[in-house]
DNA sequence: GTCGCTTGCCAC
DNA sequence: AAACGTGGCAAGCGAC
């Protein structure tokens, strides 16, 4: 298939409008129409639509939005088939902001299709089209190179601009024709989940997270002051910059400290582990300064500068951010806000900044050990499944088995060791890494691991099975992959690293379960109050009078003993801010 | 000035 | 035989 014969149009006159309508009339007997937008930038809610395009496998039409917005709205109103777009959430969000409601249940995303079918390939439209439609697609312009123009200023009638924009709908449509049958055959559930979740996520992005601005500003000021003053002190005292690791190391070496830990590229490392072990005012100041700088720059800075008139921030969420099908988030990433810890008490201020809107309460619901449950279920490991069904804490139960000591309780250090062993299994860590994480001598680590394998033989069998299936497929089909038991979606490893597939399967299954639950929660009416998804946790900002209904739905939905051989369990907490820890009973 | 690399660090 | 996974983001620094 090539791109010869493609016809691209820019709507400039009434004749063009008639021609477009004529084409649409002919299209009506088909079931789908591709669409796309060109915008002034990439931020939904800030940037605006400049061009709206529609097309099929042959024709692509670019409609200047300002001049002909009524035309595009009219097409949307009258088209009763499906809509196809690549990364549809972006265009639907942009159009929503311009006052055009795309019929979301009828919108299908080709980017989701490629991610479901071939998660190991680039999902960028140009690359997908080059692979599936025409190799030349890859070399088509994607940037405004060698011009003074930006996406906001390039003239609408500049040929390369509008024609490539129109072409994108042609490419999208052809990709759709190729991928849709494959999706139906291979992994219809995976597509349905991702596509449905994309609209739930779009709504979260629009709803936004509410910031206590005064509090955030006050804390940011205090942290920034410390960062500044400590840097001044370091410069005055040692004549170096507090942020320049090489200089800090040099001063500490002159003071008699020795360094041996190395970075990936072989330089001397100066990370928090190294600094924490050095009892010297410079080391302690650099460490403290780094921590507060992190809080100020990475978190509080965004909170105080990127909020709208209602004190809301609107992060961008990528529904298929990770190769495992986990979501990711940016501007800012609210999935990695620091948790309160003994080591860093100041960290709790960050979650305290995310507060309920006036009259609302924050509600947080997270799965308990969902990845361990996926492991137990996929491996069909009865000892673990029994432990999950029992009344005592899962890791206490395991620790009692591993150490053969029924007196072990939750605070016993051996529980943490066994917990580390569990996550080492999930991540594919070796004995060395596991021992280091658990903080035990390597011989002890080896013994725990051996005992673990003895107690949970089906886990070991599962690990070996996954790996050998993937290696087999690499030899036979060229791709080392296994399929998610929940969605049938592929998980693909880099060749020679097939062991990671155990992790991908577990992480991917947990992500799929979480997404299915998001759909259930949305169906129960909670979608309008969801703020942030955090892998196995959902954060909501709920009107006070709805709180008890929401808590009921959360508990009903997230506690589930029908999906797997192990029950899924979840707990609900609530309060004024995300940092609140009070359990909802 | 911008860009890309390195280093470090936050979460699940 | 052995192999800790997935992300986003900021600061420093050299290269252009």
- DSSP letters, A147-207, are SS--TTTS-TT-HHHHHHHHHHHHHHHHHHHHHHHHHHHH-HHHHHHHHHHHHHHHHHHHH
User: Over 70: is that where the pLDDT of A433 sits?
Assistant: yes
Grade residue A255 by pLDDT with cuts at 50, 70 and 90. very high
**Lookup: nucleotide whose C1' is closest to A329 CA:** C8
**Lookup: nucleotide whose C1' is closest to A371 CA:** B12
What digits encode the pLDDT tens for the residues A284-334?
Answer: 999 999 999 999 999 999 999 999 999 999 999 999 999 999 999 999 999
Is strand C less than 7 A from the beta carbon of A573? no
**Lookup: nucleotide whose C1' is closest to A536 CA:** B12
Return the sign of the alpha-carbon dihedral for residues A555, A359, A201, A214: negative
In the prediction, which pLDDT does A341 show? Answer: 85
Coil, strand or helix at A407: coil
Taking the C1' atom of C13, which residue's CA lies nearest?
A: A244
Taking the C1' atom of C12, which residue's CA lies nearest?
A: A244
Residues A480 and A470 sit within 8 Å (Cβ to Cβ): yes
Measured CA to CA, the distance from residue A129 to residue A168 in angstroms comes to 9
Taking the C1' atom of C4, which residue's CA lies nearest?
A: A429
Measured CA to CA, the distance from residue A555 to residue A576 in angstroms comes to 20
**Lookup: nucleotide whose C1' is closest to A240 CA:** C12
Determine the distance between A511 (CA) and C5 (C1') in angstroms.
Answer: 13
Taking the C1' atom of C6, which residue's CA lies nearest?
A: A322
Q: Quote the pTM value.
A: 0.96
Average pLDDT rounded to a whole number, residues A21-43 = 91
Tell me the Ramachandran region of residue A45: left when phi exceeds 0, alpha when psi lies from -120 to 50, beta otherwise. Answer: left
Is strand C less than 7 A from the beta carbon of A322? yes
**Lookup: nucleotide whose C1' is closest to A274 CA:** B8
- Please tell me chain A's helix, strand, coil percentages from 3-state DSSP, rounded to the nearest 5: 55, 15, 30
Residues A191 and A183 sit within 8 Å (Cβ to Cβ): yes
Measured CA to CA, the distance from residue A101 to residue A202 in angstroms comes to 13
In the prediction, which pLDDT does A69 show? Answer: 80
Measured CA to CA, the distance from residue A237 to residue A227 in angstroms comes to 15
Is strand C less than 7 A from the beta carbon of A428? yes
User: Over 70: is that where the pLDDT of A145 sits?
Assistant: no
Q: Which residues from 484-543 of A have any strand C atom under 7 Å from their CB?
A: 497-500, 503-504, 507
End-to-end CA distance of chain A: 61
DSSP single-letter state for residue A120: T
Q: Which residues from 279-318 of A have any strand C atom under 7 Å from their CB?
A: 293, 297-298, 301-302, 318
Cβ atoms < 10 Å from Cβ of A41: 12
Structure tokens at A412: 């016993």
Average pLDDT rounded to a whole number, residues A512-538 = 97
């Amino acid at each position: 298939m090539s791109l010869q014969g493609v016809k691209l149009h820019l709507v400039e006159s009434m004749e063009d409008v008639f021609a477009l309508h004529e084409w649409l009339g002919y299209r009506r007997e088909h079931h789908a129409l591709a669409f796309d937008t060109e915008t002034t930038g990439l931020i939904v809610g800030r940037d605006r639509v400049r061009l709206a395009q529609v097309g099929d496998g042959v024709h692509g039409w670019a409609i200047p939005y300002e001049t002909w917005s009524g035309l595009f709205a009219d097409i949307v109103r009258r088209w009763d088939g499906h809509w196809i777009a690549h990364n549809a959430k972006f265009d639907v969000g942009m159009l929503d902001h311009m006052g055009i409601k795309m019929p979301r249940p009828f919108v299908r995303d080709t980017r989701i299709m490629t991610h479901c079918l071939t998660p190991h390939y680039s999902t960028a439209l140009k690359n997908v089209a080059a692979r599936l439609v025409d190799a030349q697609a890859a070399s088509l312009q994607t940037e405004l190179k060698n011009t003074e123009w930006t996406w906001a200023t390039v003239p609408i009638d500049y040929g390369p601009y509008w024609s490539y924009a129109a072409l994108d709908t042609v490419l999208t449509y052809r990709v759709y024709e190729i991928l849709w049958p494959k999706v139906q055959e291979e992994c219809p559930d995976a597509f349905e989940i991702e596509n449905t979740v994309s609209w739930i996520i779009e709504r979260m992005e629009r709803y936004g997270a509410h910031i206590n601005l005064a509090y955030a500003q006050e804390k940011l000021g205090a942290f920034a002051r410390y960062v500044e003053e400590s840097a001044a002190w370091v410069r005055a005292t040692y004549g170096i910059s507090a942020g320049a690791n090489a200089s800090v190391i040099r001063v500490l070496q002159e003071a008699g400290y020795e360094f041996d830990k190395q970075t990936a590229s072989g330089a001397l490392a100066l990370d928090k582990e190294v600094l924490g072990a050095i009892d010297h005012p410079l080391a302690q100041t650099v460490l403290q300064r780094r921590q507060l700088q992190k809080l100020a720059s990475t978190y509080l800075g965004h909170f105080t500068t990127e909020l709208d008139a209602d004190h809301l921030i609107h992060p961008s969420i990528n529904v298929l951010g990770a190769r495992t099908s986990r979501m990711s988030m940016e501007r800012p990433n609210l999935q990695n806000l620091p948790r309160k810890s003994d080591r860093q008490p100041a960290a709790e201020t960050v979650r305290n900044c995310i507060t309920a809107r006036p009259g609302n309460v924050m509600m947080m619901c997270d799965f308990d050990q969902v990845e361990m449950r996926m492991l137990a279920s996929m491996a069909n490991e009865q000892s673990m499944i029994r432990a999950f069904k029992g009344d005592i804490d899962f890791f206490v139960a395991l620790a009692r088995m591993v150490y053969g000591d029924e007196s072990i309780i939750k605070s016993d250090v051996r529980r943490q060791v066994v917990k580390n062993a569990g996550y080492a299994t999930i991540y594919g860590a070796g004995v060395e890494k596991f021992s280091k994480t658990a903080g035990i001598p390597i011989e002890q680590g080896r013994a725990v691991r051996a005992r673990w394998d003895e107690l949970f033989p089906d886990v070991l069998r599962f690990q070996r099975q996954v790996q050998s299936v993937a290696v087999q497929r690499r030899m036979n089909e060229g791709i080392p992959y296994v399929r998610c038991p929940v969605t049938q979606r592929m998980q693909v490893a880099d060749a020679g690293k097939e062991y990671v597939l155990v992790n991908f399967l577990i992480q991917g299954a947990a992500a799929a379960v979480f997404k299915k639950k998001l759909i259930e929660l949305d169906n129960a009416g909670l979608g309008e109050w969801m703020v942030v998804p955090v892998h196995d946790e959902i954060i909501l900002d709920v009107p006070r009078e709805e709180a008890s209904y929401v808590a009921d739905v959360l508990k009903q939905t997230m506690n589930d003993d029908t999906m797997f051989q192990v029950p899924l369990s979840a707990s609900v907490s609530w309060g004024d801010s995300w940092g609140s820890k009070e359990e909802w009973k």
